[in-house]
Amino acid sequence: MSAKDRVTGLEYNIFTDIRLKVAAQVARVQATAAALAEIDVLCAFSYDAEKYRYVRPEMELSDVIDIKDGRHPVVERVLEDGYFVPNDCYLDCGDNRAHIITGPNMAGKSTYMRQVALITVMAQIGSFVPASSARIGVCDRVFTRVGASDDLSTGRSTFMVEMSEVAYILKNATPSSLIIFDEIGRGTSTFDGMAIARAVLEYVASKKTLGAKTLFATHYHELCDMEGRVDGVKNFSVVVKKRGEEIVFIKKIVPGGVNDSYGVDVARLAGLPESVIRRAHRILVDMENEKPEDRAAAPTAAPPDDGQISFASYAGADLIEELKGLDLNVITPIEAMTKLYELSKRAKEC
């Protein structure tokens, strides 16, 4: 036990001596560590640029973000089919300040916006970027409002968290910032969400209030009418091909808006029961054909649809089902008269 104590004491003395010697050279150690860290980062940049066909971006003092055939540096590495659809992006503080991006879920809207933000950041930290060419002006900050999450510890709902983040962006962004908004306003009622989304988009697009470069993904297709009405706002959409009941995501961003989110088709891809899909499609058609003045009326509940023509849509359906279930070969005359009287009485009450 005494020897063990002496060994421990000797080890501590040696450790203390080494620590004092290193502390005396702390400036050299930190400078070496910083140099090694910088070399490590630059080696990683060069390795990725060579292996994944990155290009050197042209850095400017302008307000332009001009990306040709841009790709997401992470998503393209994990794709199972090994092919990533590249997309262009042109933003400035003039006529192309805000892009409204519409299209179905899973079509690639979020990936497109994030790749623009990542390429912008990568260019400004000295890295080559995943594109065929890129011309990047200096951005002071990149703000994002993406995803949905609540904060149970502070009692804040998903919508409250979203609005708090939007408020922070609007208070701190400048005309030199890049802003990414992914479907804001979806956590509340349709009309409230649409009103908030439109007001936020008008605020960030207007030079009188902010005038920052903005990518704004939304399922509120009514916002597409802002192009031509609000200066600097342009519509873009993701190409989708529909073959019968099947949809194919092309994942190419093109000018122009769309008026269909293909939500029912995406639900089919997710595996919802076919009866639910058919019922959802019927409800969608009814709502699209519904007059605006009729929308205030409360919708009536509809029975589940099994895909067959059913008597269940008519009054007295339960009587018809009961008649179907009667076996006249085994029922007695007295039982038949009793049943007929009962059914007749119930039919008069319908």
pLDDT band at 249 (very low <50, low <70, confident <90, very high): confident
Per-residue pLDDT tens over the stretch 285-344: 888 787 555 554 544 444 444 444 444 444 466 777 777 777 666 677 677 777 777 777
- Angle between helices 2-24 and 26-51 in degrees, nearest 10: 80
Q: What is the pLDDT of residue 137?
A: 94
The stretch 48-54 carries a mean pLDDT of 95
Per-residue pLDDT tens over the stretch 213-228: 999 999 898 999 999 9
Of 83 and 95, the structure prediction assigns the larger pLDDT to 95
Best CA proximity match to 113, nearest among 80, 144, 152: 144
Where in the chain are the domains? 2-45, 53-271, 311-349
Instruction: Enumerate residues 6+ apart whose C-beta is below 8 A from 122.
Output: 57, 73, 128, 129
Per-residue pLDDT tens over the stretch 141-167: 999 998 767 666 677 788 898 999 999
Percent of the chain at pLDDT exceeding 90:
57
Asked if residue 128 has pLDDT above 80, the reply is yes
124 CB-side CA count, 13 A: 17
Q: What is the pLDDT of residue 313?
A: 42
pLDDT-wise least confident of 151-165, 195-209, 228-242: 151-165
Gap between the Cα atoms of 73 and 5, Å rounded: 55
The class (CATH top level) of 53-271 is alpha beta
